Amino acid sequence: GLKTGIVGLPNVGKSTMFNALCENAKAQAANFPFCTIEPNVGIVAVPDPRLDVLSKISGSEKTVPTSVEFVDIAGLVKGASKGEGLGNQFLANIRECDSIVQVVRCFEDGDVVHVAGRVDPVDDTDVINFELALSDITQIEKRLERLKKTKGKSGEEAKRNEVEAAALQRIMAALEQNKPARSVDLSEEEAELVRGLCLLTAKPMVYAANVAEDDLASPADNKYVQQLQAKAAEEGSGVVVVSAQVEAELNGLDKEEAAEYLEALGVQEGGLKSLIRATYKQLGLLTYFTSGEKETRAWTIKDGFTAPQAAGVIHTDFEKGFIRAETVAYDDYVTSGGMGAAKEKGLLRLEGKEYVVQEGDIMLFRFNV
Ligand code: GDP
């Protein structure tokens, strides 16, 4: 599955957020395995209001959301990239993730110690991003050293190595100016060549501004959120405002109490849903659906997947034996009231191997076994 690593300095609210994500997932989908699978790994459903609409139209017995995996990566501190403490292990854990959520403390609380002695979101992100960048610089230096050895040789491999080295040098230059690898424009060939290094700063990242409950209703008034947003805008990364503590408290309440609590705070939700959706979007992911009497289900694909690739997410046999896909756009499905009705109206399309699946498509695959 797709993994998102939760990183941040100690005491910023990572574990509180991680636990809230998992508890919430359990409460939302009691009969599905969306829960903590290891102490620090949890599978979380992606909230999607379209699922219930489709489920109702199709009269489905079951409704299954799609999911993302979160990993709580504690212990990233100053000096991690130098291998201090368990630093290297933490960086290795991040390397395995597809994207990163960086939790940033934007709440004041005298009872919760801040590692640097004061709340300063921009400084905190600098510390974390610096460690990630240093780790990337070390990786790139090692790789460039190896690539040098093929210098002077000719042939396909030497040519590829030259392209890779040039791309790595550009990334290195960016890192030295405190810019992440993801900010460097790479050609498709270059991107493919450097992918093997799994650079940490090349991964999509969302900042989660962890605010106090009183700031949830109007986060723009919080100076820490303002500072973080200004910084994120410079980098081209996203900020989601969330209150880990509010989310943690919500999980202990029944529906009515939760609604009252949120109303008192002047908000609809604690920000967890936005965080999950933002992560999904940052990864360049799309959702398509299958829907019938048995179940309505959301499936995750990457932007640009063809119909057979999308079918392969359900089962590899679907991809191998793919014949065609009966496809209806979400809006057409809803306005006409189902697959059969859409067909009568001429809104059902027969799509072949080349079809690029669109966000929200309802698909029925025909395949040889
Ligand atoms: P981690 O080290 O980043 O995983 O941080 P924790 O989730 O363990 O939180 C550290 C402390 O901060 C705990 O005592 C939490 O209860 C507290 N905390 C977390 N989020 C908030 C918040 O939004 N507001 C306040 N006041 N305290 C919080």
- 13 labelled as ligand-binding? yes
In this prediction, residue 278 carries a pLDDT of: 85
Q: Which atom of ligand 1 is nearest the CA belonging to 108?
A: 26
Give the phi and the psi of residue 355 in degrees, each rounded to 5.
-60, 130
Q: Could you count the other beta carbons within 10 Å of the beta carbon of residue 346? A: 9
- pLDDT number for residue 20: 86
Instruction: From the CA of 17, give the closest atom in ligand 1.
Output: 7
pLDDT tens for 21-75 read 888 766 665 555 555 556 788 888 888 899 999 999 999 999 999 888 889 987 6
Which one is predicted more confidently, 126 or 111? 126
Which residue among 112, 224, 243 has the greatest number of ligand 1 atoms within 8 angstroms of its CB, and so is best to mutate? 112
Do residues 197 and 140 make contact, with C-beta atoms less than 8 angstroms apart?
A: yes
Reported confidence tier of residue 269, pLDDT bands at 50, 70, 90: confident
CA angle 288, 291, 297 (to 5 degrees): 55
**Does the fold of domain 304-367 match that of domain 3-282?**
no
Q: How far is CA 187 from CA 34, 198, 302, in A?
A: 37, 17, 19
| Choice among 36-40, 267-271, 288-292 with the minimum mean pLDDT | 36-40
Pocket of ligand 1 (CB under 6 A): 8, 10-16, 74, 107, 109, 112, 210, 212, 243-245
Average pLDDT over residues 239-253: 90
- Sheet with 67-72, strands from edge to edge, namely 36-38, 41-45, 67-72, 3-7, 99-105, 205-210, 238-242
Q: Between 3.10.20.30, 3.10.580.10, 3.40.50.2300, 3.40.50.300, what CATH number should domain 304-367 receive?
A: 3.10.20.30
| Mean pLDDT, rounded, of the chain | 89
274 assigned to a ligand binding site: no
| CA of 21 relative to ligand 1 center, distance in Å | 14
CATH dotted code for 3-282: 3.40.50.300
Contact 300, 279 (CB under 8 A): no
Determine which residue's CA is closest to atom 26 belonging to ligand 1: 109
Q: Which two tokens stand for residue 311?
A: 């079918």
Q: CB-based burial of residue 157 (10 Å sphere; 0-12 exposed, 13-18 middle, 19+ buried)?
A: exposed
Q: Is the pLDDT of residue 202 over 70?
A: yes
211 in a labelled binding site: yes
The answer to whether 296 is annotated as binding is no
Report CA(133)–ligand 1 centroid distance (Å). 26
Query: What pLDDT is recorded for position 41?
Result: 87
Q: Report ipTM for this prediction.
A: 0.95
Residue boundaries of the structural domains of the chain: 3-282, 304-367
